[in-house]
Amino acid sequence: MTLVSERLETPRDTDRSKMRRTARWGRWLLAAVGHRLEKRRSRRTLCELTDDELRDVGLTRAQARAETAKSWFWS
């Protein structure tokens, strides 16, 4: 004979589950915004490089300007 125990969710378990989902979503959102801000900082730094430094990286001034002109959030 096999006993199968079913665990019923209590309101407390439901609340914890919702809080975990909210925390997970919040961490994802913070990571996404942080990633976008890092891209923005990198693009600004790219714009401040000298022509010699850009040549070392393999970019032209026009390519650096085009990269800097991109939206900081969507691309």
4: buried, middle or exposed (CB in 10 Å: 19+, 13-18, 0-12)?
A: exposed
Which residues lie closer than 8 Å to 36 by C-beta, 6 or more apart?
72, 73
For residues 54 and 47, the answer to whether their CB atoms sit within 8 Å is no
Is 54 part of any domain?
Answer: yes
Tokens coding 50? 């000298």
Return the pLDDT at 9. Answer: 67
- The tens-digit pLDDT sequence of the chain (75 residues) is 555 556 666 778 888 889 999 999 999 999 999 998 898 899 889 989 999 999 999 999 999 999 888 876 666
Q: How many domains does the chain have?
A: 1
Tally of CA atoms within 13 A in the half-sphere of 44 that contains its CB? 7
**Which range of residues forms the domain containing residue 70?**
50-74
Is 4 part of any domain?
Answer: no
Tokens coding 12? 């407390």
Is 60 part of any domain?
Answer: yes
Is 10 part of any domain?
Answer: no
Return the pLDDT at 2. Answer: 56
